[in-house]
């Protein structure tokens, strides 16, 4: 891919709507400058900004002399390490992903 600072983080494989209780799988493509202790974080909020779901946190200690480096790849969400996303109430939700930068996508649960 090569480093392109205009497109550091992207969500792929995410549909606009899901059924109540359906497992929501997606991928995060990253192409950015990160540190070795940078791990992804995913959380879902409803229309009133209430957190409805949060991925498992992976504790990685950061050294005081952290050096950033270029990293690119794809992470698949919907696995035991990061957790499974499923929402059991209809409505509009926002999936936030932070991995050095933040990106948000809107979905509907019907």
29-63 confidence digits (pLDDT tens) = 887 666 666 677 889 999 999 999 887 776 666 66
Tell me whether residue 4 is in a domain.
no
Residue 1 belongs to a domain = no
Average pLDDT over the chain, rounded to an integer? 81
Length of the chain: 110
CATH number at residue 83: 2.60.40.1930
Number of structural domains the chain divides into: 1
The pTM assigned to this predicted structure is 0.77
Structural domain of 75: 9-109
Cα separation, 15 vs 18, in Å, equals 7
- Asked whether residue 2 is domain-assigned, the answer is no
User: What is the predicted pLDDT for the residue at 1?
Assistant: 45
User: Domain for residue 55, yes or no?
Assistant: yes
Is 3 part of any domain?
no
- Which pLDDT belongs to residue 35? 65
């Amino acid at each position: 891919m090569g480093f392109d600072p205009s497109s550091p983080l992207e969500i792929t494989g995410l549909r606009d709507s899901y059924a109540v209780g359906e497992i929501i799988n997606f991928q995060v493509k990253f192409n950015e400058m990160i540190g070795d202790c940078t791990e992804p974080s995913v959380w879902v909020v409803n229309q009133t900004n209430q957190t409805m779901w949060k991925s498992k946190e992976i504790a990685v200690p950061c050294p005081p002399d952290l050096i950033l480096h270029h990293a690119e790849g794809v992470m698949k969400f919907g696995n035991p390490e990061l957790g499974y996303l499923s929402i059991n109430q209809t409505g509009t939700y926002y999936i936030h992903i932070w991995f050095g930068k933040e990106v948000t996508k809107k979905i509907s649960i019907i």
